[in-house]
Chain A
């Protein structure tokens, strides 16, 4: 079964609204999680590092006010896309490393966001 779970797997929202995507680590705690974005037929791009109990660290060029990240517990990180626009439509994937299991990196199932 999935070790890192994302929800929802697919979401459609109207332009200008906000949408939240959850990333949960199952059976292990993760002080950091990572969010990636993948446009169709492109590679994955690291967006930000989600840090439990503190602010997220964003990669260069990623708007922190648009992509709000909250990591309120050791098993849950959320990504909120605020004031979504069609160009935000993408596949969002999170990951977490199981440090107690050889530092194995697990990826979530991904969340397809379509903004109409």
Chain B
């Protein structure tokens, strides 16, 4: 398996534009996580899906952020409208839950810059 695949790797956009980040999890994994990483706040969990269903979206900063998982092999994180403070590295991770030894496999991230 190629691992978790995220696209694009880099995105530069103007304030107010819509941004869509994409993620393909590892085949067979039933959990998918979206994280945002900044120097100030570290790695923050935004939303978590299990079997394509959003379980916990308490980390989504505000209504400008939305995430979908239409099937087991694809998820998107959308920001509309984008703002400069959204600039960060966004990671997608997937795992197969099997109790205390869950390992999360991360993609390489999308570096988002909003100017």
- Chain A bound to chain B: no
